[in-house]
Structure 1
Amino acid sequence: MLELSICVGSACHLKGSYCVIEQFKQCIKENNLENDIIIKGAFCLGHCTEAVSVQFENEIYSVVPSTAKDFFNNTVLGRINK
């Protein structure tokens, strides 16, 4: 199972971490990946000044709510389909 960890600490919370989580949940459901991807909350992944920190396959990404769906489609789905 693949894991998406999204920072829910204070800085990322203010940048929209819960919106990012909701968009990821929607993408997972739309792509029938409920048994393939798990979303976990995390605290401080170290990129507080940029955007919402998302860890996926040991890499940290900065995601804002307006790019969450694109990130999921390009980065997450791209690795699942390989």
Structure 2
Amino acid sequence: MKVVICIGSSCHLKGSRQVVEKLQTLVREHGLEDKVELGGTFCMGDCVNGVNVTVDGEKHSVSPETVNEFFEKEVLTKIQ
């Protein structure tokens, strides 16, 4: 599974760094390093809805406050 987080300026201002750090921690805590590939990209062209995160190409809007719920719903349930 490939998870890509936008780290462009708009998403950065909306908390993309915290989202990246939390996703790294969650992947590690669940032992999914070999199943989940985290990546970053600049501007996904949907700045108004950032922080933009794609899971295998499917776009989602995530914030530091919703990253745990996002991980459970979009990563854990699809990988297990």
TM over 0.5: yes
> Which residue of structure 1 lines up, in the alignment, with residue 47 of structure 2?
48
Q: Secondary structure at the match of 1:65?
A: coil
> Which residue of structure 1 lines up, in the alignment, with residue 69 of structure 2?
70
- Deviation, 1:15, is 0.3
Provide the identity percentage: 40
Structure 1: where are the runs of 5+ without partners?
Answer: none
TM-score by length of 2: 0.95
**Counterpart contact for 1:5–1:42, Cα < 8 Å:** yes
User: For the aligned residues, what is the CA RMSD?
Assistant: 0.8
Partner Cα distance (1:21, 1:35) in 2: 17
Q: Secondary structure at the match of 2:21?
A: helix
> Which residue of structure 1 lines up, in the alignment, with residue 25 of structure 2?
26
The aligned length equals: 80
Q: Which protein has the bigger strand share?
A: 1
TM-score by length of 1: 0.92
Partner Cα distance (2:19, 2:75) in 1: 14
Structure 2: where are the runs of 5+ without partners?
Answer: none
What do residues 26-78 of structure 1 show as CA deviations (whole Å, max 9, x unaligned)?
11011000111111111111221122000112111000000001100111111
> Which residue of structure 1 lines up, in the alignment, with residue 3 of structure 2?
4
**Counterpart contact for 1:45–1:60, Cα < 8 Å:** no
